[in-house]
Amino acid sequence: MKRFLRRIASPLVILGAVVSTLCGRALAGPPAQKLPSALLVFPLIQADESGADTRIELVNLSGRGQDVECFYVFGGGDNTCNEIGFFLSLTPYQPLSWLTTEGLNDVLTRSAAPPFFGEGELKCAVIPPADEVDVEFHNTIQGRATVYSSTGRTVSYGAVGFQRLSPGDFTGVVSLDGRTYAQCPDKLHFDVLADKPTATPATISDLILVPCSQDLLLQVPATITVQFLIINEFEQQFSTSISVTCFERAALSAITDALLRANLGTETGHLIIRGVNGPLLGLVVDEVAFQGKTGIAGNEPSFQGGRSATVVFP
């Protein structure tokens, strides 16, 4: 009898969670992906005059025209944390795509995206039609980015999507609190390849991290202390920490030499990342050896838990 009761309890718990979500009382947790969203974050945008470029794709999944406010945020060099804002209009059910080095000027929808040269991230938020406050008018877009260079090496990844959870107007303050919008993930989990800088060919993977919270109105950069836990295939553990301000890109072995093949002791490792004073989003660019050459691939994290954050749009 006890076994039978346990079997029927699981569907009831699941049903209760679904009802709670539909009623706008979502439990804390990471953002659900592959769903129409109200906020998109692209952790890596890269373009320069040597031939590197990024193609950005936005798709309006609704049957109505949709306005979107976007911001490029520069990372590194002299442009650290500077921002460029712009607005886009998406026609019903249609994709919109542009190269960052060229920008976009659509005379039919009056959309314009400025050219972007450098390295950083992109955030886009849905502005629903006037007087439409239901969540279905917020959760309308998906996105993808493809970063490539003149050598032909390409990284493609899906934008992180945050759904609107409760009805209301778009005020410019995106509260990722698990009530208004979905929360940020508490932890990022990656399965990564150990760096082999002395191998032939050498392979070195990069980690990109951006804070979830961001004030795009006052342009105050957020600095996050980041903790790393690395677990090799023998379940041995290593740890380290760094600070991230607005955007960080670094080789895995530059963050900690525990991610060198000689020190990790195995070909792969499990990387768990958590921000101490705020949640983060990220991406790993894996460098992979193949027939004496190297290629790259986007390595997207899995999410664990949820933490609140705020993004402020002007």
* CA triple 136-185-210, angle to 5 deg: 100
**The residue count for the chain:** 314
For the domain 29-176, what is the CATH superfamily, name and number? TM1070-like (2.60.290.11)
Of 33, 42, 32, which Cα lies nearest the Cα of 247? Answer: 42
218 contact partners, CB below 8 Å, separation of at least 6: 312
* pLDDT tens, residue by residue, 238-257: 999 999 999 999 999 999 99
**CATH of the structural domain 184-304, one choice from 2.60.40.10, 2.60.290.11, 2.30.22.10, 3.40.50.20:** 2.60.290.11
Domains 29-176 and 184-304 share a fold: yes
Query: How far is the C-alpha of 205 from the C-alpha of 192, rounded, in Å?
Result: 8
Tell me the domain boundaries of the chain. 29-176, 184-304
Query: How far is the C-alpha of 216 from the C-alpha of 314, rounded, in Å?
Result: 6
pTM above 0.95, yes or no: no
pLDDT tens track of the chain, all 314 residues?
A: 333 333 333 333 333 443 344 444 445 678 887 889 999 999 999 998 888 999 999 999 999 999 999 999 998 655 568 899 999 999 999 899 999 999 999 888 778 999 999 999 999 999 998 888 999 999 999 999 999 987 778 999 999 999 999 999 999 999 999 999 999 999 999 999 999 999 999 999 999 999 999 999 988 888 899 999 999 999 999 999 999 999 999 999 999 999 999 999 999 999 999 999 999 999 999 999 888 888 889 999 999 999 999 999 99
Query: How far is the C-alpha of 57 from the C-alpha of 97, rounded, in Å?
Result: 4
